[in-house]
Amino acid sequence: MRINPSILSADFANLASELQRIHTADAVHVDVMDNHFVPNLTLGKPVVEAIAANTGLPLDIHLMIADADRWAPEYAQLGVDSVTFHAEASTAPVRLARELRATGAKASMALRPATAVEPYLDMLGELDMLLLMTVEPGFGGQKFLDLVLPKIRRARAAIEGSGRPIALQVDGGISRDTILRAVEAGADVFVAGSAVYSAPEPSVEIDVLRNLALGAH
Ligand code: DX5
Ligand code: ZN
């Protein structure tokens, strides 16, 4: 059970100290948005490099960008732990996942809430992680979508069936109130932005969320 806080909810003017506040995290979730795939613009490679230089935690890069086939390998080459691209933004997801792995990074693919997982089950073996969005990507602070829970269950069953150690990440609206539902459905990596950064002590909130997830299992 891993908790990856999203720095989307951090104070971007003080990223170094904001990274220090989440030192209990398992990884730092970095939301890259291009104002095309989603209606919001955040940061790109120079800021990812600055984050890497200011934390010892692994970086979990979530690309919400168009033309992922073109851009995702460049992020993987920065030496980050994992790169997640959106299936809806990739023309050749199998080739892209292989390119990501060839850099030494973990390959991960994300699905928007209304994208079915079934068309992608035969390529699970190409992935180290599957991200099922529990909000429409683009903004922090949105409400968790319970309609994704059946898809999480189906994905968990497929992962178990594959016999491979593929992580199942959820992202969007995760908090003390919603994490148990995601755990029970089968998720094991949890992104939390507003719930962590709005807490008085983000590092403690991360432990609270992890303990809730561990207790539910
Ligand atoms: C949404 C991002 C999420 C977001 C999560 O597009 O991918 O990572 O920051 O924020 P919360 O936890 O506030 O929903
Ligand atoms: Zn994200």
Q: Which one-letter DSSP state was computed for residue 126?
A: G
Catalytic residue among 26, 31, 60, 128: 31
Distance from C-alpha of 153 to C-alpha of 117, rounded to nearest angstrom: 11
CA 7 – ligand 1 centroid, Å? 9
pLDDT of residue 216: 79
Distance (Å, whole) CA 84 – CA 197:
22
Examine the residue annotation and report whether 177 is marked as an active-site residue of this protein. Answer: no
Burial of 139 (0-12, 13-18, 19+ CB in 10 A): middle
pLDDT digits 0-9 by tens, 131-145: 999 999 999 999 999
Tell me the two tokens of residue 47: 């800021």
As a whole number, the mean pLDDT across the chain is 98
**Shortest-distance Cα residue to atom 4 of ligand 1:** 140
pLDDT in tens, 23-73: 999 999 999 999 999 999 999 999 999 999 999 999 999 999 999 999 999
Q: What is the enclosing helix (H) or strand (E) of 153? A: helix 149-162
Instruction: Give the pLDDT confidence of 70-92 residue by residue, as tens digits.
Output: 999 999 999 999 999 999 999 99
Which domains are present in the chain?
Answer: 2-216 (3.20.20.70)
**Which residue ranges have their beta carbon within 6 Å of ligand 1?**
6, 8-9, 29, 31, 62, 135, 137-142, 171-174, 191-195
Whether residue 31 lies in the annotated active site: yes
DSSP state of 56: S
Strand arrangement, sheet containing 2-5: 2-5, 189-192, 167-171, 129-133, 106-111, 82-86, 59-64, 28-33
- 110's enclosing H/E stretch is strand 106-111
**In this predicted model, what pLDDT tens digit does every residue of 100-121 receive, in sequence order?**
999 999 999 999 999 999 999 9
